[in-house]
Amino acid sequence: MRLAGGMGALVDGLLQSLSEDRLHLEHVLTAVADRDDHVELSFLAGEKSVTVAAKRAVLAMPPRLVEEHVSFLPDLDEALFAAMLATPTAVASEAKAVMTYGGMSGFYDARGSGNAFVHHEQAVLREIFDASTGVKHALGGFLAMSPGLRKSFRGGLPLLVASQFAQVFGAGFDQGELHIQDWAREPYTCASQDRPGARFSASGSAWTAGG
C-alpha cells in the first residue's frame, strides 16, 4: 500500500536513471514554441533566461498551471485551453498534517494506531490515517479548515493539530514531530482557478477569483 521510505523513495529511484547533465532544477517554464523540426522551451532560472531545444516535450504539470503561466507559439486550440481551465488540480487547495514518532516506536507499537473521520464543526482534521512508512511510525490527516482559515490560524495550527491527534488516539500522540504541507500556498501546485471562490466561464474565456 505504501513505498518503504515514503514517496520520496520513488523520486530518488527515478533520479538514478538520469545523468546529472540531463537534470535542471529550479527552472520555471514560461513558453513553448514549435520550430517545425524541434520544440523550443523557454525557462527562467533565477533571473536568467534559458532556452532548451528538444525533439519532443512532455509537460507533466497541472493543466491549469500550464494555461495560466505558459505561452505557446502558435497558440493551442481554444477548446484545449478551455479543457485545461476546466480540469481541477488534485489537492490544490488541501493541506495535510503528518506526525512522526521516530523515537517512540515502543510507545507507538504498544498503543496501536488506526483511522478516524471527524465530522464536528470545530474539527481541525477531518480524516486521520496511519501514515507509517516502514522507517518511521506516523499518523497523517487532511485538514478540515479552509485555506483562508488556515492562514488566519497559521501561528496556532501546530498546537491545534497536535491536540486533535491526542483527542482521537490518546495522550502521547501529540508528542511526535509535526509536519504540515499546505498546497494552497504552493504557486507551482495551486493555480488561481483552483483557489476557493474562483469561478470559471464554460467558454474558457474568463475566470474570476472571489471569497
Domain that holds residue 180: 95-185
Q: Are residues 118 and 180 in the same domain?
A: yes
Kindly report the CATH number assigned to the domain that includes residue 151.
Answer: 3.90.660.10
Choosing from 85, 106, 129, the residue where a domain stops is 85
pLDDT at 206: 41
Buried b (16+ CB within 10 A) or exposed e, 163-180: ebbebbbeeebbebebee
pLDDT at 162: 94
Kindly report the CATH number assigned to the domain that includes residue 12.
Answer: 3.50.50.60
Give the three cell numbers for residue 116.
478516524
Tell me the pTM: 0.77
Q: Are residues 101 and 71 in the same domain?
A: no
pLDDT at 72: 96
Q: Are residues 104 and 176 in the same domain?
A: yes
* Of 174, 177, 173, 161, nearest in space to 111 by CA: 173
Rounded Cα distance between 60 and 137, Å, is: 31
Number of domains in the chain: 2
In a domain, 159, yes or no: yes
Q: Are residues 105 and 167 in the same domain?
A: yes
Rounded Cα distance between 134 and 118, Å, is: 26
pLDDT at 131: 85
- Supply the Cα-derived Rg of the chain in whole angstroms: 21
Q: Are residues 75 and 125 in the same domain?
A: no
pLDDT at 198: 63
Q: Are residues 55 and 130 in the same domain?
A: no
Strand partners, 97: 141, 180
Q: Are residues 16 and 67 in the same domain?
A: yes
In a domain, 204, yes or no: no
pLDDT at 73: 96
pLDDT at 102: 76
In a domain, 52, yes or no: yes
* Amino acid identity, position 32: V
Q: Are residues 115 and 142 in the same domain?
A: yes
Choosing from 85, 111, 132, the residue where a domain stops is 85
Q: Are residues 112 and 169 in the same domain?
A: yes
Choosing from 41, 57, 85, the residue where a domain stops is 85
Given a cut of 50, the residues of the chain with pLDDT beneath it are 201-211
In a domain, 209, yes or no: no
In a domain, 148, yes or no: yes
Tell me the CB-side half-sphere exposure of residue 211, using CA atoms within 13 A: 14
**Residue 65 burial (10 A CB sphere; 0-12, 13-18, 19+):** buried
